[in-house]
Amino acid sequence: MDSQTPKATGTVRRHRLSTRLWHWLNAALLYVLFTSGLGIFNAHPRLYWGHYGANLDAAWLELDRFPGWLTLPALYSLAMSRHWHLAAAPIFAFALLFYMLWSLANRHIVRDLAFRRDDLAPRHIWQDIKDHARLRFPTGDAALRYNVLQKFSYIGVIFILLPLIILTGLTMAPGMNAAWPWLVDLFGGRQSARSLHFIAAFALVAFFLVHILMVLLAGPVNEVRSMITGRYRVPEERP
Amino acid sequence: MILTRRTLLLVATATLAGCDRLGRNESVREALFSAENFHRWAQRSLMARDALAQEFRPDQISPIFRANGTANPNTPAYKALWRGGFADWRLPVTGLVTRPLSLSLAQLQAMPHRTQITRHDCVEGWSAIGKWRGVPLKAILEAAGLRDSARYLVFRCADDMGGGRPYYESIDRFDAFHPQTILAYALNDRPLTVANGAPLRLRVERQLGYKQAKYLMGIEAVASLDGIGKGKGGYWEDYAGYDWYAGI
Smallest Cβ distance to B121: which of A32, A40, A174? A174
From CA A38, how far away is CA A41, in angstroms rounded? Answer: 5
Whether the CB of A73 is below 8 Å from some CB of chain B: the reply is yes
pLDDT of amino acid B17: 82
| Cα–Cα–Cα angle for B166, B210, B163, rounded to 5 degrees | 25
**End-to-end CA separation in angstroms for chain B:** 43
Whether the CB of A192 is below 8 Å from some CB of chain B: the reply is no
Distance, CA of A223 to chain centre: 18
**Of chain A residues 31-70, which have a CB less than 8 A from chain B?**
31-32, 35, 40-41, 43-44, 46, 48, 51-57, 69-70
pLDDT of amino acid A3: 44
Contacts of A220 in chain B (CB under 8 A): 1
pLDDT of amino acid B2: 52
Q: How many CB atoms lie within 10 A of CB B205?
A: 26
From CA A166, how far away is CA A180, in angstroms rounded? Answer: 14
Cβ distance A2 to A223 under 8 Å?
A: no
Q: In which residue ranges of chain A is pLDDT below 50?
A: 1-5
Whether the CB of A10 is below 8 Å from some CB of chain B: the reply is no
Residue B231, min C-alpha distance to chain A (Å): 17
Q: Under the phi-then-psi rule, with left for phi > 0, alpha for psi from -120 to 50, and beta for the rest, what region is B215?
A: left
pLDDT of amino acid B4: 67
Smallest Cβ distance to B206: which of A48, A86, A178? A178
Smallest Cβ distance to A54: which of B3, B36, B128? B128
B122 pLDDT band (50/70/90 cuts)?
A: very high
Whether the CB of A191 is below 8 Å from some CB of chain B: the reply is yes
Contacts of B52 in chain A (CB under 8 A): 178
Q: Give the count of alpha carbons within 13 A of A20, CB side only.
A: 16
B221 pLDDT band (50/70/90 cuts)?
A: very high
Q: For residue B3, is pLDDT > 70?
A: no
pLDDT of amino acid A141: 82
pLDDT of amino acid A4: 46
User: What's the rounded mean pLDDT across residues B148-176?
Assistant: 96
Contacts of B238 in chain A (CB under 8 A): none
Q: What is the pLDDT of residues B48-70, one digit of tens each?
A: 999 999 999 999 999 999 999 99
Q: Give the count of alpha carbons within 13 A of A33, CB side only.
A: 25
Give me the residues paired with residue B130 across strands: B118
From CA B46, how far away is CA A180, in angstroms rounded? Answer: 8
Choose among B235, B209, B99, B73: nearest CA to B154.
B235
Q: What is the pLDDT of residues B186-218, one digit of tens each?
A: 999 999 999 999 999 999 999 999 999 999 999
pLDDT of amino acid A205: 97
pLDDT of amino acid A2: 45
Convert chain A into a string of H (helix), E (strand) and C (coil): CCCCCCCCCCEEECCCHHHHHHHHHHHHHHHHHHHHHHHHHCCCCEECCCCCECCCCCCCEECCCCCHHHCCCCCCCHHHHHHHHHHHHHHHHHHHHHHHHHHHHCCHHHHHHCCCHHHHCHHHHHHHHHHHHCCCCCCHHHHHCCCHHHHHHHHHHHHHHHHHHHHHHHHCCHHHHHHCHHHHHHHCCHHHHHHHHHHHHHHHHHHHHHHHHHHHHHCHHHHHHHHHCCEEECCCCCC
Q: Do B241 and A83 touch (CB under 8 A)?
A: yes
Interface TM-score (ipTM) > 0.85: yes
pLDDT of amino acid A210: 93
Q: Is B60 helix (H, G, I), strand (E, B) or coil?
A: helix
Cβ distance B235 to B168 under 8 Å?
A: yes
pLDDT of amino acid B16: 82
Closest-approach residue (CA) in chain A for B2: A216
